[in-house]
Structure 1
Amino acid sequence: MRVLARVDAALLNQTGYLFQWSPICLAVGIGLYFSLRFEPEWHVYACLLLGVAVLVWIGRARRTGWAALAMGGALIAAGFMLAGARAHSVAEPVLSWRYYGPIEGRVVAMDRSASDALRVTLDRVRVGDVPVNRRPQRVRLSLHGGPASLAPGQRIMTTGHLSPPQGPVEPGGFDFRRHAWFQGLGAVGYTRVPVMTIAPATDATEGVRITALRMAISERVRAILPGEVGGFAAAVTTGDRSGMGQETLNSLRASNLAHLLAISGLHMGLLTGFVFLVFRLCLSAIPEVALRLPVRKMAASFALVAAVIYLMLSGGNVATERAFVMVSVMLGAILIDRRAISLRAVAVAALIVLILRPESLLSPGFQMSFAATTALVAVFGQLRGYGPMPGSKWTKPVAGLLLSSAIAGLATAPIGAAHFNTMSHYGLLANMLSVPVMGTIVVPAAFVAALLAPFGLESVALNVMGLGLKWILTVSQHVSTLDGAQGYVVSPPHYVLPMIALGALWLALWQGRAKWIGIIPVVTAFLTWEQAHRPEVLIADSGGLVGVMSENGRALSKEKGSGFIATVWLENDGDGVDQMKAASRWPDGADMVKRYTWQGKELIHITGKRAAQGFDECQGHQIVVSAVDLNLSGDCGLFDPNRLKETGSLAISNDRITTSQETIGQRLWSPAITENRNFKRDQ
């Protein structure tokens, strides 16, 4: 009883600081939903709904610390139900087989693929004679058939390949099928023939018209600022990255400046902050206005309007929506005479984002944005208690910028390393040289260009903007070529990031000495990450690639083909080599039959129909992986496309085989699990 009384007293001592825990509880419920390996039935939601009602009643009826726990439990259950409702609400048909034939649809979005090909998203799709009830509502198509002049709203036709969204390239990896489910993508593919326009953009909806306006602005910007600078300018103004090459993108990533491409919290904050400052200064300069009207609130209103316009013109993607919510909450706080920058405001923004898009919890953008914001607000809130920052009026801004960059970098580094397996060792230097230019030159010039555009004078401001962007690209190119500019990190176990996040949030939000308990899960998580082990053998779900962990790193069975899978495997290993280098680690063998002796077993990888026709051995100590269907007799472990279609990608460690289908389970976005009687678990 004494322990319970102490817990009750500790919770009562947090009165006034508990609201900040609301989005955390909601996020826990959302995370629990996505961590399941089965899709909950309706009676699970009914029980949760009843539980929420009971917990809310307990929380409102009692005025003890335990009431806070009851409300927290209600939020966890609500988060679970919210994620389930969202997953069911976006349900659309998903192609369940590989298709080749005519494809027709309306262009609603354009970007570039990892291979630097133009990629279009189509809706109102027609796919051969596929019936309506099985026809994807949206498909994404990479165009490899030569240059095409396309515009949003056009209806196009081509002949190409489509397939279902791909599952994880290894068990426990990123599940693109889940991502595509929430994006409404029912199929992805490519075409190698030219695209024909069969109808102009005459029936464009409002969303398509806005996209067409964005593309027109992007073309105008690139016409004034040619080359990579123009592509960069279009990316930060309209979200259109189609004008940027892969080399530039890679240098920005290596220098930790890729966040300047995404229209997120930094851009939205810089723009609204600049608009707020300009309008406040202008209004304050008019005595009649400054003395009689609430200038600060009027400036906040103008900044909010600017944020809405920027949201529409930038494409309104998830990152931009999240940034808009955050600045709207802070500007709204000004309008109702509340502190604009506080942990409570950050909590409100996080709640809104999670309610609107629960799936965003899993995205690195959401995690990094709120990690950086929470860390900055918490640290500077603590420093405020020690008085003003020492130094002169010239050194204070520099010290503040250094401190802000360091805090944001430390807060987001584990998240970036876990998701992207890289760390930029000179990222702080690159950001110190680039972010001030973005805030003082690029964003103001973009705002002035928007004001001058109706008069045809935008080129003056865009050229100034181009100077700032050229400086940023120069910094990224120089920093990315420094020795040791980029390090590689092995992927952590799936529970490491939640442990780090919960421990860090406890440190930031809990009041009193008990906050230091948060250090324990953070340290434990990093120690666990340090001891992380990668699978000894990886097998692609197509049977087209095999990777074995050797003394020198993972050896790949092919030096070409399945390039995306090879890249992800090597990145997750924390290995910075390319596929060709990793393939050189594989022992010499026949071109179409690759062999590798591993722990007393022989791994055999077969590619090509000719090699398959000449292969008839199948012994108990062998594991045979084939990119074409095989009909073998014997005791070997056989994984051909027919078998792998049921299991997905495979990982083998300590003589245990793990399949992607097992780790995902049977969810709305995953194909049904079918029994495979010939699948040998002992191999």
Structure 2
Amino acid sequence: MTWLRSPIPGQHGALFPWAPVFLAMGIGLYISLRQEPPVALLWVSGGAGLAGLVLARRVGATLGPLMTALALVTLGMALAGARAHRVAGPVLDYRYYGPIEGRVVAIDRSYSDALRLTLDRVVLFDTAPDRTPLRVRVSLHGDQRWLDPEPGMTVILTGHLSAPNGPAEPGGFDFRRHAWFQRIGAVGYTRTPVLMIEPAGRGVVLARLRTRLADRIKARLPGETGGFAAAILTGDRSAVGRETLSALRDSNLAHLLAISGLHMGLLAGTVFGALRLALLSVPALGLRVPAKKIAALGALAAAGGYLALSGANVATVRAFVMVAVILGAVLVDRRALSLRAVALAATILLVITPEALFGSGFQMSFAATTALVVVFGLMRGKLRGWPAPLRWGATLVLSSAVAGAATAPVAMAQFNRIAEYGLLANLASVPLMGALVMPSGVAALALMPFGGEALPLWVMGRGLDWILWVAESVSALPGAVGHVPAPPGAVLPLLAFGALVLCLWQGRARIAGLAPSLVAVWLWAGAERPVLLVSGDGALVGVMTEAGRALSRESGAGFVAGIWLENDGDGADQAEGFARWPGASGKSWAVLERGTLRLRHLRGKTGLERLGRCAAGEIVVTDREADVSGGCLLLSAKELAATGAVAWYPDGAGLRAVTTGEISGQRLWTPKLDQENPARSWDIRETPLGFAAKQEGRQARSGGLRSLNMRRHALENR
């Protein structure tokens, strides 16, 4: 053990920031399992983790940290498992159409920009309570102008529901898992009017207050400006249009819309500064009381009120915990901004909501905060002596550059895009947000009970108008958005671990953090996209061509189409993808012929009528249940329901099939496989590759397909 004794003692006093790192490893281990572990194993893991933390203090300075790390990993696994079981609820296992009754608990907008309601206390016709989801989410289409929904209102509607969808492609973001942790057991839509059957009751006072405040703000500031103001003050983003969201994302200003660490920090900082200044302005009072600590308590109370008012979603809870830790440090006379404070905030959040680890907000917030604390720690005292305006400008540019560099890999991996002028947009917007927008917003909220919010909201609106103008102008610049392909699953963890070693490890050995980072970059550069993709419901097919991915339909299945193109690193939309389809197509069918490959995509009853016989070497995809005579490979709705989305990758002289079922395994949030009809995987062999897909400046081997010899391989029952 001699090799362990040299580096560990050198980290004395600097190991606590590693606590959330190893806790996150345990959470990641639980989520990555292909089989749900027994509950007894989770209890054992939790007990072993707690025991390990206690024993680690008694085994010495060398083995103690190692035992602590192992204990935190096992404890993280237990915490994630406990959380997954605690939020468990029924998931709809069939397609439902009929009356839906429930209480509104959240209002937002869907991918298609439709108003969307999340309901609890759900009642479904002819569905037993033990099979009824705890929550459902319904998108509202059609004419809903006579409905003014607010949280707490009980509504009834006629709509379609089904279980939350799995990943759009194997290995992609798992929407089903995300919905599980939100206790959403069904999603759907309605095209008929939604009717109120009972007004909001007393149980959702804060939610109703939030809605009324948002309405009052939007009445004073109409249009997108009012929607922006309501979003950052109350968390209600339902009035922010899709075009505005797109402009904010493309200019790297979307973080200004979500109630995050920036907003919570600005609000707490404004209250802290105002209270401390007010106390010190009265010398007889300021000299007799601990003005700094009183101001910290006032700021903490204001932050708590902001948390409650904004709906206490995961991002806002994360921001509140970080601010509370910083203000707590002020109360106990410790340095407010330190790696220990950041680590404590991260640990608290991972204990409360382990699933937050996989959210882009959590990853980007802590990446930016950690990098800023480290860099400004190294810069401490370096700008002393500079003129104040120059020092302020240098600090602003440095903080924006550091935060942008720290969050860029996460944004690229999560959203497959790079905001090329994001630094410029943030330099033009963030100072105004801190100096004008948030202070005016705080004043508006404080004066609103007395009817005095008009002036501060007007000032706030002028600042938001500037930010929206910056977002629109920057996003419209040529080359404002770059696109990158989705990385393999190991890339982001490797990048994060390498960056953490560089930031947290003490001494020259921190340079070792470059190794996992370089491996991650190498893996990302060699990422290979699927040659052929079939959606989990058979509604869409995508084939890689020389021009990019060709899609089998021009409209419909737009959400899946968008994800496929984004993951390809392709800036095209669905209509452009459809224009690449090299074969014949109609409203309910599409045919692709390339060499000896013949692929038919048939949709609905009309498309199914064109099925007939099929020949060997042909692939037929349909979103309906179907039987076919002939030697073709048939992917019908029934088979795809068992496998989920299917992707084919180059594999020697053929194509290797990967299904969502293989990747996801059997977990609490995945549907149980039909034991009589096990999921299948299909490989395509003896197929010299011919298509070429240009990705990020290199030729990626793809599709081709002459002389097909297709074989079905039944997977083991899972």
TM range, smaller chain = over 0.9
The one of 40, 49, 73 aligned to 1:76: 73
Alpha-carbon distance in structure 2 between the residues aligned to 1:255 and 1:49: 44
Q: How does 1:72-111 map to 2 (within 5 A)?
A: 72-111=69-108
Instruction: Give SS of 2:2's match.
Output: helix
Q: What amino acid sits opposite 2:682 in the alignment?
A: R
Q: CA deviation at 1:578?
A: 0.7
Alpha-carbon distance in structure 1 between the residues aligned to 2:192 and 2:384: 63
Aligned to 1:544: 539
Alpha-carbon distance in structure 1 between the residues aligned to 2:487 and 2:23: 24
Alpha-carbon distance in structure 2 between the residues aligned to 1:521 and 1:155: 52
Asked if structure 1 preserves the Cα contact closer than 8 Å seen for 2:138 and 2:187, the reply is yes
Aligned to 1:238: 234
Q: How does 1:514-533 map to 2 (within 5 A)?
A: 514-533=509-528
The reply to whether residue 369 of structure 1 matches residue 368 of structure 2 is no
Q: CA deviation at 1:64?
A: 2.9
Specify whether residues 679 and 5 from structure 1 end up closer, same or farther in structure 2 by C-alpha distance, changes over 3 A only: closer
Instruction: Give SS of 2:287's match.
Output: helix
Q: CA deviation at 1:217?
A: 0.3
Aligned to 2:575: 580
Alpha-carbon distance in structure 1 between the residues aligned to 2:657 and 2:385: 59
Displacement over 6 Å in runs of 4+: none
Asked if structure 2 preserves the Cα contact closer than 8 Å seen for 1:145 and 1:195, the reply is no
Q: CA deviation at 1:677?
A: 6.0
Instruction: Give SS of 1:23's match.
Output: helix
Alpha-carbon distance in structure 2 between the residues aligned to 1:53 and 1:240: 40
Asked if structure 2 preserves the Cα contact closer than 8 Å seen for 1:51 and 1:74, the reply is yes
Asked if structure 2 preserves the Cα contact closer than 8 Å seen for 1:637 and 1:679, the reply is no
Asked if structure 2 preserves the Cα contact closer than 8 Å seen for 1:449 and 1:459, the reply is yes
Instruction: Give SS of 1:10's match.
Output: coil
The one of 404, 407, 410 aligned to 2:402: 407
Instruction: Give SS of 1:242's match.
Output: coil
TM-score scaled to structure 2, two decimals?
Answer: 0.92
Q: What amino acid sits opposite 2:633 in the alignment?
A: G
Q: CA deviation at 1:588?
A: 3.0
Which segment is superposed worse, 295-304 or 38-47? 38-47
* Runs (5+) with no aligned partner, structure 2: 684-709, 711-718
Instruction: Give SS of 1:52's match.
Output: helix
The reply to whether residue 424 of structure 1 matches residue 419 of structure 2 is yes
Aligned to 1:126: 123
Asked if structure 1 preserves the Cα contact closer than 8 Å seen for 2:273 and 2:295, the reply is yes
Q: CA deviation at 1:149?
A: 1.5
Aligned to 1:162: 161
User: 1:399-447: CA deviations, max 9, x gaps?
Assistant: 1010000000000000011011111000000000000110011000011
Aligned to 1:681: 682
Asked if structure 2 preserves the Cα contact closer than 8 Å seen for 1:111 and 1:119, the reply is yes
Alpha-carbon distance in structure 2 between the residues aligned to 1:680 and 1:492: 23
Alpha-carbon distance in structure 2 between the residues aligned to 1:6 and 1:650: 47
Q: CA deviation at 1:197?
A: 1.0
Alpha-carbon distance in structure 2 between the residues aligned to 1:209 and 1:54: 43
Specify whether residues 661 and 677 from structure 1 end up closer, same or farther in structure 2 by C-alpha distance, changes over 3 A only: closer
Aligned to 1:189: 188
Q: CA deviation at 1:653?
A: 1.0
Asked if structure 1 preserves the Cα contact closer than 8 Å seen for 2:642 and 2:680, the reply is no
The one of 32, 39, 43 aligned to 1:42: 39
Aligned to 1:607: 603
Alpha-carbon distance in structure 2 between the residues aligned to 1:122 and 1:49: 34
Alpha-carbon distance in structure 1 between the residues aligned to 2:382 and 2:552: 61
Alpha-carbon distance in structure 2 between the residues aligned to 1:649 and 1:526: 27
Asked if structure 1 preserves the Cα contact closer than 8 Å seen for 2:248 and 2:254, the reply is yes
The one of 354, 358, 363 aligned to 1:358: 354
Which segment is superposed worse, 140-149 or 23-32? 140-149
Q: What amino acid sits opposite 2:411 in the alignment?
A: G
Specify whether residues 243 and 53 from structure 1 end up closer, same or farther in structure 2 by C-alpha distance, changes over 3 A only: closer
Q: CA deviation at 1:52?
A: 2.7
Asked if structure 2 preserves the Cα contact closer than 8 Å seen for 1:637 and 1:680, the reply is no
Aligned to 2:260: 264
The one of 302, 322, 326 aligned to 1:326: 322
User: 1:262-284: CA deviations, max 9, x gaps?
Assistant: 00000001111111111111111
Alpha-carbon distance in structure 2 between the residues aligned to 1:70 and 1:168: 37
User: 1:238-288: CA deviations, max 9, x gaps?
Assistant: 011111111111111111101000000000011111111111111111112
The one of 311, 317, 321 aligned to 2:313: 317
Q: How does 1:379-394 map to 2 (within 5 A)?
A: 379-384=375-380, 387-389=382-384, 391-394=386-389
Alpha-carbon distance in structure 1 between the residues aligned to 2:454 and 2:51: 62
Aligned to 2:199: 200
Aligned to 1:442: 437
Aligned to 1:225: 221
The one of 28, 31, 34 aligned to 1:31: 28
Q: CA deviation at 1:604?
A: 1.6
Aligned to 1:211: 207
Q: CA deviation at 1:489?
A: 0.9
The reply to whether residue 276 of structure 1 matches residue 272 of structure 2 is yes
Specify whether residues 551 and 439 from structure 1 end up closer, same or farther in structure 2 by C-alpha distance, changes over 3 A only: same
Q: CA deviation at 1:598?
A: 5.5
Specify whether residues 630 and 389 from structure 1 end up closer, same or farther in structure 2 by C-alpha distance, changes over 3 A only: farther
Specify whether residues 453 and 51 from structure 1 end up closer, same or farther in structure 2 by C-alpha distance, changes over 3 A only: closer
Asked if structure 2 preserves the Cα contact closer than 8 Å seen for 1:441 and 1:464, the reply is yes
Alpha-carbon distance in structure 1 between the residues aligned to 2:156 and 2:391: 59
Alpha-carbon distance in structure 1 between the residues aligned to 2:545 and 2:440: 53
The one of 503, 512, 517 aligned to 1:508: 503
Identical aligned pairs, as a percentage?
52
Asked if structure 2 preserves the Cα contact closer than 8 Å seen for 1:638 and 1:679, the reply is no
The reply to whether residue 454 of structure 1 matches residue 453 of structure 2 is no
Specify whether residues 599 and 59 from structure 1 end up closer, same or farther in structure 2 by C-alpha distance, changes over 3 A only: farther
Q: What amino acid sits opposite 1:565 in the alignment?
A: V
Instruction: Give SS of 1:538's match.
Output: strand
User: 1:149-189: CA deviations, max 9, x gaps?
Assistant: 22221111111101100100100011111011111111111
Alpha-carbon distance in structure 1 between the residues aligned to 2:384 and 2:177: 46
Asked if structure 1 preserves the Cα contact closer than 8 Å seen for 2:642 and 2:678, the reply is no
Asked if structure 1 preserves the Cα contact closer than 8 Å seen for 2:673 and 2:679, the reply is no
Aligned to 2:637: 641
Q: CA deviation at 1:50?
A: 5.3
Q: What amino acid sits opposite 1:159 in the alignment?
A: T
Alpha-carbon distance in structure 1 between the residues aligned to 2:189 and 2:42: 40
Asked if structure 1 preserves the Cα contact closer than 8 Å seen for 2:155 and 2:194, the reply is yes
Which segment is superposed worse, 387-396 or 17-26? 387-396
Specify whether residues 153 and 388 from structure 1 end up closer, same or farther in structure 2 by C-alpha distance, changes over 3 A only: same
Which segment is superposed worse, 549-558 or 590-599? 590-599
The reply to whether residue 21 of structure 1 matches residue 11 of structure 2 is no
Q: How does 1:462-477 map to 2 (within 5 A)?
A: 462-477=457-472
Alpha-carbon distance in structure 1 between the residues aligned to 2:90 and 2:142: 27
Q: CA deviation at 1:49?
A: 4.0
Aligned to 1:672: 672
Which segment is superposed worse, 634-643 or 646-655? 634-643
Alpha-carbon distance in structure 2 between the residues aligned to 1:572 and 1:177: 19
Alpha-carbon distance in structure 2 between the residues aligned to 1:114 and 1:653: 29
Q: What amino acid sits opposite 1:196 in the alignment?
A: L
Q: What amino acid sits opposite 1:84 in the alignment?
A: G
The reply to whether residue 499 of structure 1 matches residue 494 of structure 2 is yes
Alpha-carbon distance in structure 1 between the residues aligned to 2:502 and 2:658: 36
Q: How does 1:658-669 map to 2 (within 5 A)?
A: 658-669=658-669
Specify whether residues 382 and 192 from structure 1 end up closer, same or farther in structure 2 by C-alpha distance, changes over 3 A only: same
Q: CA deviation at 1:599?
A: 7.6
Alpha-carbon distance in structure 2 between the residues aligned to 1:679 and 1:76: 34
Alpha-carbon distance in structure 1 between the residues aligned to 2:481 and 2:47: 51
